[in-house]
């Protein structure tokens, strides 16, 4: 393990450990399998443990735990044993390295020896020197900066360009973390890999775009920084769920084993149609309140105990059944996926409460894992996937949204639009919405649905543009608006350089409103906005 002290000095800490793997007997008895494998000198220890078996985890089986002192011996041994045909590996996730870290009580990315909980919402680390490299059109750009908890920010040291990537290596020796693009030459990447005690991150493949974000996810998934950056969100989520299964002694399936039953067309249209999305009337609306349910799908999974082994479970004593719901939920115990989501929701909430130097990037990283949780319930290759669970989440989300719409109407609000977990509301009188009215409405919806909801924005005006499809009045997934503090919001169109833009000039505001109303195609919108801004800037004295 590489450790960095408070002075930024690196040292390697050696931790003695054993690497476990889990096996189940085939053809032979458990005792006969143990007699065969204990003869190998690479095997350090063998134990027999009782684990619950999928799909319902209502039956137990003897699982053989084999411990090795050398990690590199694991795969060759396993391959030989499996070829002999008398055993099969189970619990591929979590990995042997992950289990070793857990059992040694090692918390990754934590420099405070008193912290023993990987789910702690705090990060504390000494100043880290980072080199981030981009490579484009045969130009190498270097950005050197320091990351420090005490300074509450990232401090830029230097930005520079190199015309020859071979000059790069000499600049990297002083850095703790090096972020490299995959398109650099193999020679440069190999040289970087050979640098002693450097954390090397190559080929970032997920939307978590910050080192503190990678750290918090790496800590709860017991995954090193490079693997976090280069793994899909789904893989990281599965590792976190597999760790929970390991703690409960639930065998992790190698493939998804919850198969979907036959459905007729009407059932598919009813239960597999996605979240509730409205079609607004195109036009401009003033004094609009946007409210959002907080992490709607993860909250439903957690609140209603939705997990593959709880959906339509046989031999269940206590069932939760909602009117017209396509599936029932067993509530005899806390489900694996629902428990994992509850921990993620709690972690995100605690990070927000702390409001530390890197809370925003850490909270964003946890949110990405939570967002993936719903999609992975229905993903065909997900180890903890179940189409029934996926359908039930959609069903409940529609019930929740319809209840929120009903409560909004009763409280004097017209529902202009709704998208999955968001509502756009305007008073029937179209007058300004005050804090008292907004807070009363939020309280009523939370009470009526049992789920948290928050105010997202208050718009001075908002535009729902005409749809490209002439059959529809307006595009359901695009809207543009101006908040009361002058921020321009453009959703459904990716416009670089526009996020957070302030429009505080009344003349510019009126021109912007006309432009957004007249826009004929979303692909032209960004260019038109930027052209207007440059034109208006040139005219100002």
Q: What angle do CA 373, 376, 377 make, to 5 degrees?
A: 90
- Reply yes or no on whether the pLDDT at 300 is more than 60: yes
Q: How far apart are CA 427 and CA 416, in angstroms?
A: 10
What pLDDT score was predicted for residue 30? 95
Q: Which residues pair with 124 in a beta bridge?
A: none
Q: What is the mean pLDDT of residues 405-432?
A: 96
Q: What are phi and psi of 418, to 5 degrees?
A: -150, 140
Taking each helix axis from N to C terminus, what angle separates 336-354 and 296-303, rounded to the nearest 10 degrees?
A: 130
Look up tokens 């065909």; give the residue. Answer: 380
Q: What are phi and psi of 119, to 5 degrees?
A: -95, 15
Q: How far apart are CA 83 and CA 499, in angstroms?
A: 57
Q: What is the pLDDT of residues 311-349, one digit of tens each?
A: 999 999 999 998 888 899 999 999 999 999 999 999 999
The string of DSSP letters for 395-417 reads HHHHHHHHHHHHHHHHTTEEEEE
- Reply yes or no on whether the pLDDT at 479 is more than 90: yes
Comparison of pLDDT for 487 and 172, the residue scoring more: 487
Q: What is the pLDDT of residues 33-44, one digit of tens each?
A: 999 999 899 999
Q: How far apart are CA 138 and CA 151, in angstroms?
A: 35
Distance from the Cα of residue 100 to its chain's centroid: 25
Q: HSE-up of 532 (CA within 13 Å, CB side)?
A: 19
Neighbour tally for 360: CB within 10 Å: 15
The answer to whether the beta carbons of residues 522 and 492 sit under 8 Å apart is yes
The string of DSSP letters for 182-246 reads TTS-HHHHHHHHTSTT-EEEE---SS--SHHHHHHHHHHHT--HHHHHHS-HHHHHHHHHHHHHH
- Reply yes or no on whether the pLDDT at 452 is more than 90: yes
Q: How far apart are CA 538 and CA 532, in angstroms?
A: 10
Residues ≥6 apart with Cβ < 8 Å to 535: none
Residues ≥6 apart with Cβ < 8 Å to 447: none
Rg over alpha carbons for the chain, rounded to the nearest Å, is 27
What pLDDT score was predicted for residue 12? 66
> Distance from first CA to last CA of the chain, Å, rounded?
60
- Every domain of the chain and the residues it spans: 18-103, 487-541
Q: What is the pLDDT of residues 257-299, one digit of tens each?
A: 665 666 676 766 666 778 899 999 999 999 999 999 999 999 9
Q: What is the mean pLDDT of residues 459-483?
A: 87
- Reply yes or no on whether the pLDDT at 393 is more than 90: yes
Encoded tokens for 344? 């993620």
Q: How far apart are CA 121 and CA 362, in angstroms?
A: 9
Q: Under DSSP, is residue 101 helix (H, G, I), strand (E, B) or coil?
A: helix
Q: What is the pLDDT of residues 107-164, one digit of tens each?
A: 888 776 667 899 999 887 878 888 888 776 666 777 878 887 765 455 555 566 665 6
Peptide bond into 55 cis (omega under 30): yes
Per DSSP, 527 falls in state H
* Domain formed by 18-103, architecture: 2-Layer Sandwich (3.30)
User: Among 24, 94, 92, which Cα is nearest to 239's?
Assistant: 94
Taking each helix axis from N to C terminus, what angle separates 336-354 and 233-248, rounded to the nearest 10 degrees?
A: 110
Q: Under DSSP, is residue 29 helix (H, G, I), strand (E, B) or coil?
A: coil
Give the DSSP H or E segment for 79: helix 74-84
- Reply yes or no on whether the pLDDT at 538 is more than 60: no
For all residues of the chain together, what is the average pLDDT? Answer: 87
Q: Which residues pair with 481 in a beta bridge?
A: 462, 489
What pLDDT score was predicted for residue 2? 61
pTM of the complete model beyond 0.85: yes
User: Among 38, 29, 24, 35, which Cα is nearest to 92's?
Assistant: 24
Encoded tokens for 68? 């090795």
Q: Under DSSP, is residue 119 helix (H, G, I), strand (E, B) or coil?
A: coil
User: 88-97, 160-169, 220-229: lowest mean pLDDT where?
Assistant: 160-169
Residues ≥6 apart with Cβ < 8 Å to 223: 98, 108, 217, 231, 236, 239
Give the DSSP H or E segment for 166: none
Residues ≥6 apart with Cβ < 8 Å to 63: 22, 23, 24, 48, 49, 50, 51, 90, 91, 251
Q: How far apart are CA 196 and CA 10, in angstroms?
A: 10
Q: What is the dihedral of CA 527, 532, 534, 535, to 10 degrees?
A: 130
- Reply yes or no on whether the pLDDT at 28 is more than 60: yes
Q: What is the mean pLDDT of residues 206-220?
A: 92
Q: How far apart are CA 82 and CA 25, in angstroms?
A: 10
What pLDDT score was predicted for residue 541? 47
What pLDDT score was predicted for residue 328? 95
Q: How far apart are CA 221 and CA 238, in angstroms?
A: 9
Q: 432: pLDDT confidence band, cut at 50, 70 and 90?
A: very high
- Max Cα-Cα span within the chain: 89
What pLDDT score was predicted for residue 402? 96
What pLDDT score was predicted for residue 187? 66
Comparison of pLDDT for 231 and 154, the residue scoring more: 231
118 burial type by CB count under 10 A (0-12 exposed, 13-18 middle, 19+ buried): buried
């Amino acid at each position: 393990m590489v450790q960095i002290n408070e002075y930024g000095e690196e040292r390697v800490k050696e931790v003695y450990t054993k690497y476990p793997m889990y096996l189940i007997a085939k053809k032979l008895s458990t005792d006969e399998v143990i007699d065969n494998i204990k003869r190998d000198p690479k095997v350090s220890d063998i134990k027999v443990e009782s684990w619950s078996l999928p799909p319902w985890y209502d039956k137990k089986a003897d699982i053989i735990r084999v411990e090795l002192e050398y990690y590199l011996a694991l795969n060759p041994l396993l391959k030989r044993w499996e070829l002999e045909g008398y055993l099969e590996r189970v619990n591929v996730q979590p990995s042997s390295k992950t289990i070793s870290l857990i059992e040694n009580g090692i918390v990754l990315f934590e420099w405070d020896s008193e912290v023993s909980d990987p789910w702690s919402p705090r990060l504390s680390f000494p100043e880290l020197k980072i080199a981030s490299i981009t490579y484009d059109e045969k130009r190498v750009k270097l950005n050197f900066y320091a990351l420090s908890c005490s300074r509450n920010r990232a401090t830029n040291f230097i930005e520079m360009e190199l015309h020859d990537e071979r000059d790069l290596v000499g600049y990297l020796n002083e850095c703790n973390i090096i972020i490299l693009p995959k398109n650099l030459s193999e020679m440069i990447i190999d040289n970087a890999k050979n640098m002693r005690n450097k954390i090397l991150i190559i080929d970032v493949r997920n939307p978590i775009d910050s080192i503190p974000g990678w750290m918090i996810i790496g800590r709860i998934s017991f995954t090193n920084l490079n693997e976090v950056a280069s793994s899909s969100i789904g893989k990281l989520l599965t590792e976190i769920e597999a760790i929970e299964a390991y703690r409960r002694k639930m065998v992790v399936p190698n493939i998804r084993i919850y198969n979907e039953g036959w459905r007729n067309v009407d059932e598919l249209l009813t239960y597999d149609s996605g979240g509730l999305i409205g079609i607004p009337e195109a036009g401009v609306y003033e004094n609009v309140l946007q409210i959002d349910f907080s992490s709607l799908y993860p909250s439903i999974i957690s609140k209603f105990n939705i997990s593959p082994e709880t959906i339509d479970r046989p031999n269940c004593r206590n069932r939760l059944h909602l009117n017209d719901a396509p599936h029932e939920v067993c509530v005899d115990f806390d489900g694996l996926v629902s428990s994992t989501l509850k921990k993620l929701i709690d972690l995100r909430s605690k990070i927000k409460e702390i409001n530390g130097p890197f809370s925003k990037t850490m909270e964003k990283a946890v949110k990405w894992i939570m967002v993936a949780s719903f999609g992975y319930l229905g993903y065909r290759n997900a180890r903890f996937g179940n189409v029934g669970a996926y359908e039930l989440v959609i069903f409940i989300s529609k019930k929740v949204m319809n209840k929120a719409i009903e409560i909004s109407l009763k409280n004097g609000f017209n529902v202009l639009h709704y998208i999955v977990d968001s509502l756009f509301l305007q008073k029937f009188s179209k007058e300004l919405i005050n804090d008292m009215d907004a807070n009363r409405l939020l309280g009523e919806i939370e009470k009526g649905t049992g789920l948290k909801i928050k105010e997202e924005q208050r718009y001075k005006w908002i535009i729902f543009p005409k749809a490209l499809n002439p059959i529809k009045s307006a595009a359901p997934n695009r809207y543009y608006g101006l908040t009361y503090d002058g921020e321009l919001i453009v959703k459904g169109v990716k416009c670089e350089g526009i996020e957070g833009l302030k429009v505080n000039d009344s003349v510019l505001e009126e021109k912007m409103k006309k432009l957004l109303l007249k826009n004929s195609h979303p692909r032209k919108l960004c260019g038109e906005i930027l052209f207007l801004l440059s034109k208006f800037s040139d005219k100002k004295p």
